[in-house]
Structure 1
Amino acid sequence: MHAMQYELTLPARYDMGIIRERVARRGHLLDDWDGLGLKAYLMRERGLRGSPVNQYAPFYLWNTVDGMNAFLWGGGFQGVSDDFGRPPARQWTGLAYEEGGGSHARFAMRRRQPVPDGAPLADAVEGAVGDVGRSAAQDGAVLAAAAVDTSRWELVHFSLWEHVPAADGDVFEVLHLSAPGRDTLPRGRRW
């Protein structure tokens, strides 16, 4: 499993209805993308749920690197680049994934944190794996995942929810969920 996200931070007075319409018109294009576990089309609006910015920030969980590369180099990502410029696409190596009991993803939570200097790496990632299990077990959780960027030694925790989560992190509204390979995302710890 591989995680990926790009963020488009938009002007404070940007009409976020444009993003909603874009996703309504184009979101279905990845509903059957080969190698994609899921893509959560995420948006947050300045002043809502603690957001300091207007932002469109899709989050992906990929089953295969080939699928991710086909998206980046084979045309899927080109639409974003054409319309907004080419944003950096952050990538993380998957550590853990679990399904929750919730059924309809309306909100997402993302928390990024550094792997503490001097801490044993195994302890840091085991903590992230434990967080995934605890998040997925909460009422209203649809799924939870954790991944690591070893170039920055950064952990990312990602979860989808039926309601606004009580956890710390950035809260996004889910506009659409493309999940052609969600049922084949590997569960549990990934090593």
Structure 2
Amino acid sequence: MIGMQYRINLPSDYDMQIIRDRVKNNGNKTDGFKGLLFKCYLIQEKNVDSFENIYSPLYIWNDSNGMNQFLFGGFYDNIIKSFGWQKINIGVPLLIDLKDDFKDAKFVIELSNEINPQMSLAAFPESILKSQKEDTGCVGRVCIYNPDKWKYSQFYFYLDRPEGLSKNNVYQILHISRG
């Protein structure tokens, strides 16, 4: 499996309705995409979720074939044409735990951290699993790590907006495509 995400920082006066309309009109094009476990169309809206406007889709691919088809088969060209060349973050899923109502999630929290140098990584997966938030409102959890950068991100999916966190960690989910 492969995790993939790009972050498009938009101007502070950008009308986020443009992104909402884009996803409403085109989000279903990745529904049933071969090799895709899921794609979440994520945004952060200035003064609502963040200090800036961001479009940052998150993909989990079952294998590299689907991802390659998406990137090199013309589908990603729409991002290039609309937003320019984007750096794509790639990682390996360590944990994917999706409940039945994951498909109805409307918000996601992303928490990122570094994997510090240590003499053994044997306990790392267990420490991440233990650190996963146990939250009754959570309908899905994903942890993706990147050994090239020695970083990891944990994603927590919710039906309702989670409270009590920094705005910079919460995304709105506009659509979830399943492969």
> Considering the TM-score relative to the shorter chain, is it more than 0.5?
yes
Matched residue type, 1:78 = D
Quote the offset at 1:141 in angstroms. Answer: 1.6
Q: Is the 8 A contact 1:35 1:63 kept in 2?
A: yes
Which position in structure 1 is the counterpart of 2:55?
56
Q: Which structure 1 segments of 5+ residues have no match?
A: 181-191
CA contact (8 A) 1:101 1:141 kept: no
Task: Tell me what 2:98 maps to.
Answer: 99
How much does 1:102 deviate? 4.0
Q: How far is the alpha carbon of 1:101 from its aligned partner?
A: 6.0
Read off the aligned partner of 2:150 and give its amino acid letter.
W
Task: Indicate the residue corresponding to 2:175 in structure 1.
Answer: 176
Q: Would you say the 8 A contact 1:7–1:55 is kept in 2?
A: yes
Partners of 1:119 and 1:11 in 2: CA distance: 43
Deviation at 1:21, TM superposition (A): 0.6
- Structure 2 regions of 5+ residues with no counterpart? none
Q: Residues 79-90 of structure 1: matches in 2 within 5 Å?
A: 79-90=78-89
Of 143, 149, 152, which aligns to 2:149? 152
Match of 1:36 in 2: 36
What SS does the corresponding residue of 1:127 show, helix, strand or coil?
helix
Structure 1: how far apart are the matches of 2:81 and 2:91? 25
Off by >6 Å, runs of 4+ in structure 1: none
What is the aligned partner in structure 2 of residue 186 from structure 1?
none
| 1:131-146 equivalence runs, <5 A | 131-132=131-132, 134-135=133-134, 138-146=135-143
Helix, strand or coil: the match of 1:172?
A: strand
Distance in 1 (alpha carbons) for counterparts of 2:157 and 2:119: 29
With normalisation by structure 1, the TM-score equals 0.85
Amino acid at match of 1:64: D
- Name the SS of the counterpart of 2:26 in structure 1: helix
Are 1:11 and 2:11 counterparts?
Answer: yes
In 1: Cα distance, 2:65 partner to 2:154 partner: 23
Secondary structure of 2:19's counterpart equals helix
Q: What residue identity is the alignment partner of 1:99?
A: L
Amino acid at match of 1:88: K
Q: Quick one: which amino acid aligns to residue 139 of structure 1?
A: T
RMSD: 1.8
- Separation in structure 2 between the aligned mates of residue 98 and residue 119 of structure 1, nearest angstrom: 29
Which AA in structure 1 matches 2:52?
V
Alpha-carbon distance change, 52 to 120 in structure 1, aligned in 2, over 3 angstroms:
farther
